Chains A and B, each alone.
Chain A
Amino acid sequence: MPGASLSRWTLTYFACALLCLVGAEALMVMGFGFPGATIEAPETLILVHLVAIGWLSLLMCGALFQFVPVLVARPLLGDELPPVALAFILTGLVILLSGFAGMTGLVAVPAEAMPLGGLLLLLGFGTAILSLGRTLWAARPLTMPARFVVVGLAALAGTALFGESFALILSGLVGGEAALSLLLNGVPLHALLGLGGWLTFTAMGVSYRLLAMFMLAPETERFSTSVVLATGTLTLMLIAAATPFALAAESGLAGMLLAAAVTGLCALGVYGSDMLALYRQRKRRNIELNAVAAIGAFAALLAACLLLVFLLFSGSLPEHVGALTYLFAFGWLGGLGLAKLYKIVAFLTWLECFAPVLGKRQTPRVQDLVDERHAAPWFGVYYLAVGLGTLTLLVELPLVFRIVAGVQLFATLAIIRHLYRARELLNVPPDLRRGFARPHPFWPQPIARKLP
């Protein structure tokens, strides 16, 4: 059936994600949360969860609803679930952030709001996992990129369970020595499973297929990719296995995390060499902006790995974990997200507007929907701002960080403007656009082949 493989809700997810990104960056410009507040402060928790859940997780979920069917060459099962998941996640996020705001004393929100928000987030992500998991299960045996997604979804479940546990403890609904110990020691496990497992591991798996597709690189399964899958999975298992140590406040926790850092860095190292091989083996000499801008994200990932090693050896990780997280979240994950959005938005828009008349009249190419020449510099500004932002955090210049965050926000808004222009067909030559209705910015219509 034509159009069966187009995810109708993906663009809605992307719009919500971008709104959260702009909101988070605006908060940073205003000096809200870290570095103005401590890393454990409720204000920082608001900022972190707005980025991790609002921006990055909604972006990833939206992308997976579209992309998992491509990975397994089968339609999404339970395609009525994405809007349900979105409603749960958005409501859960708002309630969770309100709960954090209640902790600051700025607003009067009962402490029970946090576990309620966490529960809704569990339901939302659970719904997404159900739909994606069923689709993946039905497509066994899975290709290598799809296996990364399975591990990533397991890490998402773990992250959400950790989060709800923290919310229950923080609200006072669950107490006791073990609970307090988990709250004090378990936060790195929650963050590592979320940023490292769910977001990074899934992005890595998807990048193998996406970059090969867009650059016409060989889609052969390399032995090195199975090494990345194995060492990465081992890393996440080590992190999950550290939970009893966090509960019992035993000294073994640091050792487990160090072992996870070693295997994790090995996985990322081999992944980096795989990506380098993909770029080198590409058949398409002139690569598109999405693949060029992704190089900035890979550079940020490399920089984050080097920074982690330096901080571990210098023993200064606790003081600079904020700078490292900022570089990882905005440089690697956020940079890759914006770069791939630049392609996916244009591609989905092409499918919605022009696929129904393919072969019946002249249609533009996907590339005709974008204006790479004018968009490219903004990706440069974005990465430059993230790089400078990391430096200002490392040398502790919070005021300069706010100015740099302003530049980052400005570059983000410029990239969003380019996404909007692609979506509204504003870059398509008028003669090719004539007769086509401009689509809704984030509410795609069902598409069907127009009859002759």
Chain B
Amino acid sequence: MSEDAEEEDDALVAQIREALRAVIDPELGQNVVDLGLIYAIEVTDGCVASIVMTTTTRGCPATSFLKQAVQDVAWAVPGIEFVDVDLTYEPPWSPSFIAPEIAGLLGAR
């Protein structure tokens, strides 16, 4: 793969990460990116996005909505034609994954 294509994919990853800030976890009221719920974003071939995510707790009734919202938001990023969202609990989410800048807002310690 050419260096240009790699840079384009990286740029799309950054755009998807930014777009995903529109999706909030209803319980904690913060976006899924800063909460550390998005474990990985990868873009290949300039249009295929693969996202690995988790939820704060296994079996949460909002899980399917969060997964669907992440898929929809990533798919709406210009240039992305296919999105695969994989839900994982390995490793299980921990409050230590929360971005330091919002940890204070949640009263997390």
| Residue positions of A touching B, CB distance < 8 A | 1-6, 66, 69-74, 213-214, 216, 219, 283-286, 347, 350-351, 354-356, 358-360, 363, 365-368, 449, 452
Interface status of B70 (Cβ within 8 A of chain A):
yes
Distance in angstroms between the alpha carbons of A284 and B61 in the assembled complex: 21
Instruction: Using C-beta atoms within 8 Å of the partner chain, give the interface range for chain B.
Output: 20 to 34
Q: Are B23 and A285 in contact (CB under 8 A)?
A: no
User: Chain B residues with Cβ under 8 A from A1's Cβ?
Assistant: 64
Interface status of B60 (Cβ within 8 A of chain A):
yes
Distance in angstroms between the alpha carbons of A6 and B107 in the assembled complex: 29
Q: Are B26 and A350 in contact (CB under 8 A)?
A: yes
Task: Write the chain A residue with the least CB distance to B31.
Answer: A359
Q: Return A427 CB to nearest CB of chain B, in Å.
A: 14
Interface bits B1-30 vs A (CB < 8 Å: 1, else 0): 000000000000000000000111011110
Distance in angstroms between the alpha carbons of A286 and B95 in the assembled complex: 14
Q: Are A363 and B24 in contact (CB under 8 A)?
A: yes
- Given A73-B58, A351-B61, A355-B62, answer yes or no on A285-B24 (Cβ-Cβ < 8 Å): no
User: Chain B residues with Cβ under 8 A from A283's Cβ?
Assistant: 95, 108-109
User: Chain A residues with Cβ under 8 A from B102's Cβ?
Assistant: none
Q: Return B3 CB to nearest CB of chain A, in Å.
A: 33
| Residue positions of B touching A, CB distance < 8 A | 22-24, 26-29, 56-66, 68-70, 72-73, 76, 92, 95, 106-109
Q: Return B97 CB to nearest CB of chain A, in Å.
A: 11
User: Chain B residues with Cβ under 8 A from A213's Cβ?
Assistant: 56-57
Contact sample, A vs B, 14 pairs, CB 8 Å cutoff:
A1-B64, A5-B61, A69-B59, A216-B95, A219-B92, A283-B95, A284-B95, A355-B62, A358-B26, A358-B66, A358-B69, A359-B22, A365-B26, A449-B68
Q: Are B59 and A366 in contact (CB under 8 A)?
A: no
User: Chain A residues with Cβ under 8 A from B60's Cβ?
Assistant: 70
Q: Are A358 and B61 in contact (CB under 8 A)?
A: no
User: Chain B residues with Cβ under 8 A from A3's Cβ?
Assistant: 64-65
Q: Are A359 and B62 in contact (CB under 8 A)?
A: no
- Given A71-B59, A72-B59, A452-B76, answer yes or no on A365-B29 (Cβ-Cβ < 8 Å): yes
**List of 7 A-B pairs having minimum Cβ-Cβ separation, nearest first:** A365-B29, A359-B69, A73-B59, A286-B107, A285-B107, A283-B95, A355-B65
A4, A5, A284, A350: the one within 8 Å of B107 (CB): A284
A356, A359, A368: the one within 8 Å of B23 (CB): A359
Q: Return A147 CB to nearest CB of chain B, in Å.
A: 16
A2, A69, A72, A354: the one within 8 Å of B68 (CB): A2
User: Chain B residues with Cβ under 8 A from A214's Cβ?
Assistant: 27
Q: Are A358 and B24 in contact (CB under 8 A)?
A: yes
Distance in angstroms between the alpha carbons of A286 and B106 in the assembled complex: 8
User: Chain A residues with Cβ under 8 A from B64's Cβ?
Assistant: 1-5
B24, B57, B62, B70: the one within 8 Å of A351 (CB): B62
User: Chain A residues with Cβ under 8 A from B24's Cβ?
Assistant: 358, 363, 365
Task: Write the chain A residue with the least CB distance to B19.
Answer: A359
Q: Are A354 and B26 in contact (CB under 8 A)?
A: yes
User: Chain A residues with Cβ under 8 A from B62's Cβ?
Assistant: 351, 355
Distance in angstroms between the alpha carbons of A355 and B68 in the assembled complex: 10
Interface centre among A6, A283, A355, A359 (most CB of B within 10 A): A359
Task: Write the chain A residue with the least CB distance to B89.
Answer: A73
Distance in angstroms between the alpha carbons of A270 and B28 in the assembled complex: 30
- Given A283-B95, A284-B107, A367-B29, answer yes or no on A6-B72 (Cβ-Cβ < 8 Å): no
